[in-house]
Structure 1
Amino acid sequence: MGRQRDWHHTARRRRPLRAGVLIAGLGVGTCLIGVAGLAAWNAQVVFQADGPVRETADGFFRDVAAGDTDAAYERLCADAREKWSRTGFGSWVRTPPQVSGYEIVDVSVTTRSGKPTGTVIVRINRDGGGSEERELPVVPEGGGWRVCGDPF
């Protein structure tokens, strides 16, 4: 007769590597979705801020070129208003050679530590034909954007 086979029970294989890879993949996928969401939020803040930052700088220099120093002063941030009194700012702006015109060359908005900050490059034209480029910092304050720092 034939030979009798020994009964052999095969052990169930466990697949810890496959489970670990699956869990790691899900974790990485979740992180990537979070990073993409944060990047989209930052991009939205930056792109939506470009227009208001430009409008703030444009209004400030329009007021300065028109000689309306009170309106220009109101567009300054609190830090700048602490450095300049309304009268001192008006005298400073009216010091020759006065601003006769301007051109906004570039507008950029960045976020640092989650706070947006704008920078506007402006070509300032002065009485007598001189011109110069200045970097104008613009910051969010009080629900809007304000000119901050030394614009001249």
Structure 2
Amino acid sequence: MTYEPMMVPGPRSNRTLRTVLIVVGALLAVCCVVGTCVGLWLYRSVKDSVEPARVATTAFLDDVQAGNYPGAYGQLCDRVRDTMTQEDFARIQGAQLKVRSYEITGVNVSNYNGRVTATAHVEAVQEVTGAQFSQVMTLVKEDGEWRVCQ
């Protein structure tokens, strides 16, 4: 009797590892693309909600710095305008030290029970003394426009 060896199949190529690596690589690529898109959307959403309050603060401070007190008074909220006349506002602003330069370092917007408010953090330098000071300005959204409500 002769001995016949059993037929053993040849070694299979290791395609499983390659397939797993391709799938993992594709998933990582999709996650990166989705993460980038979500990040850009979030950045734009935050910027779109904060930028109008920043612009309103800048316009108010520019008017005060230029001595355009009627223009600055027009950017005040109703509550402040109800308690102060335009002449009083101009007199108070005219008596204060002038600001040489300023920088808005941060703006926070919040919505609490439908009342939209913002705070703007301002770093300023006085014209005569060169002293630096910080100020937090409060803004409210009235009739779709941001108004300074100190």
TM range (shorter): 0.5 to 0.7
Q: Which one-letter code corresponds to 2:116 in the other structure? A: P
Structure-2 residue corresponding to 1:131: 132
Query: Retained in 2: the 8 A contact 1:139–1:147?
Result: yes
Structure 1: 5+ residue stretches without partners: 1-43
Q: What is the CA-CA distance between 1:96 and the residue it aligns to?
A: 3.6
Q: Which one-letter code corresponds to 1:138 in the other structure? A: L
SS of 1:93's equivalent? helix
Structure-1 residue corresponding to 2:101: 101
Query: Could you tell me the percent identity over the aligned residues?
Result: 30
Structure-1 residue corresponding to 2:60: 60
Q: Which one-letter code corresponds to 2:144 in the other structure? A: G
Q: Which one-letter code corresponds to 2:50 in the other structure? A: D
Residue correspondences, number: 107
RMSD: 2.0
Query: Retained in 2: the 8 A contact 1:46–1:110?
Result: no
In the TM superposition, what are the counterparts of 1:1-150 in structure 2 within 5 Å? 47-128=47-128, 129-149=130-150
How far apart, CA to CA, are the structure 1 residues paired with 2:76 and 2:62?
A: 14
Q: What is the CA-CA distance between 1:49 and the residue it aligns to?
A: 2.4
Please, which moves more after superposition, 132-141 or 94-103?
94-103
How far apart, CA to CA, are the structure 2 residues paired with 1:96 and 1:117?
A: 26
Q: What is the CA-CA distance between 1:124 and the residue it aligns to?
A: 2.3
Structure-1 residue corresponding to 2:35: none
After the TM superposition, which segments of 4 or more aligned residues of structure 1 sit over 4 Å from their partners?
44-47
How far apart, CA to CA, are the structure 2 residues paired with 1:47 and 1:110?
A: 13
Query: Retained in 2: the 8 A contact 1:123–1:132?
Result: yes
Query: Retained in 2: the 8 A contact 1:116–1:140?
Result: yes
How far apart, CA to CA, are the structure 2 residues paired with 1:146 and 1:96?
A: 21
SS of 2:76's equivalent? coil
SS of 1:119's equivalent? strand
Q: What is the CA-CA distance between 1:45 and the residue it aligns to?
A: 7.8
